[in-house]
Amino acid sequence: MAIAPELTPTPSLEPLVRCAWSPLEIAEERCKGCELCITACPHDVLDLDRSIVNRLGYHPVRLTDATACTSCAICAKVCPDAVFTVYARPKEA
C-alpha cells in the first residue's frame, strides 16, 4: 500500500531585503590613513577605523554616517591613492 505524501504549504515569498545604501565605496586595502579626506570632509563623516589594520599596515578610513554624507566627492578629490568611489543618492520613488 502506498503512503500519500504529506502536503506542506509553500512558503510565502517574502519581499527582498534591501541592502543599506552607502554613498561611498572605500578601497580599504589601498588606504594609507593619511587623513587628508577626514580633514577635507565638510560634514565630518569620515574617521580612521582603528579596529583594523590593512595589508599595508595602516588604519583605513571609514564612513561614520552615511545619511549625513552628501556625495560631494571632496574626499575623492583630495585622496592621493584614489580609494573612494562616490555614488549619487538614489532618487525617491
Global model pTM greater than 0.85: no
pLDDT at 17 over 60: no
> What is the average pLDDT value for the chain, to the nearest integer?
85
- Enumerate residues 6+ apart whose C-beta is below 8 A from 74: 37, 40, 41, 42
CA dihedral 25, 28, 30, 36 (to 10 degrees): 80
DSSP 79: -
The confidence score (pLDDT) of residue 14 equals: 47
Q: Does domain 24-86 have CATH number 3.40.50.1360?
A: no
Instruction: Using the structure block, give the residue that is written with the C-alpha cell 543599506.
Output: 20
pLDDT tens by residue, 35-57 = 999 999 999 999 999 999 999 99
Q: Kindly indicate the confidence band of residue 2, based on its pLDDT and cuts at 50, 70 and 90.
A: low
DSSP H or E segment with residue 89: none
The domains of the chain are located at 24-86
The confidence score (pLDDT) of residue 92 equals: 74
According to DSSP, the residues that pair with 86 across neighbouring strands are 24
State the average pLDDT over residues 3-11: 53
What is the Cα gyration radius of the chain? Answer: 22
